[in-house]
Amino acid sequence: MNRVRTIAPLVILFILVVAGVSYAQQASKIAIINSDKAFQTCVEGKKVLAQLQERENKIKTDIQKLDDSIRLLGNKLSTGRLTMTNEAVMGIQSDIDKKTTERKRYEEDAARDAQQFSGNLAQKIRVEMVAIIEALAKERGLELVLDAQMSGVVTFSPTVDITDEVIRRYDQSKAATPPVKK
């Protein structure tokens, strides 16, 4: 009876170890991708980011020009208020109001357009990358690929990170594709 009490826990421990090893092998069919890194590092993502920066710089320049014209009208009004007729003062104030409204509308329209533009391009790249991720998952027998940016992953082993491989394959697919003529 004493021998059974000694052997039973060892058998149970052995079963648990075997089950743990089996589970660990199944867990290796999981991979992680960092979508932000993939987008910012791939060639197409860098092009999109450069285009967005150009648009942002143009918008800032245009807004600065509108601000300057509003400031000039304000200076004209403040320096000439004592010598101007009431109609001239009201005319300049009306011009300031129009320019201020124009600036606000331009800024809102530009922000909306930039958001739509970046969303469309990011979505295009995302769809193309998902196809590569699916092919890579099939090739490696992965059952689950998590996005480190959106899934709430707290920590993971770098051995399950496929981000660099996805970037490499995505860039290769873009290099192999002839450019679209406009």
Asked if residues 53 and 136 have their Cβ atoms less than 8 Å apart, the reply is no
Q: Is the pLDDT of residue 5 over 60?
A: no
Question: pLDDT exceeding 90 applies to what percent of the chain?
Answer: 40
**Residue 90 in tokens:** 């009201």
Bridge partners (DSSP) of residue 144 are: 30
- Strand blocks (E) in 69-150: 144-147
Do the beta carbons of residue 89 and residue 144 sit within 8 Å? no
User: What is the pLDDT averaged over residues 145-154?
Assistant: 77
DSSP 160: G
Q: Which two tokens stand for residue 168?
A: 């490499």
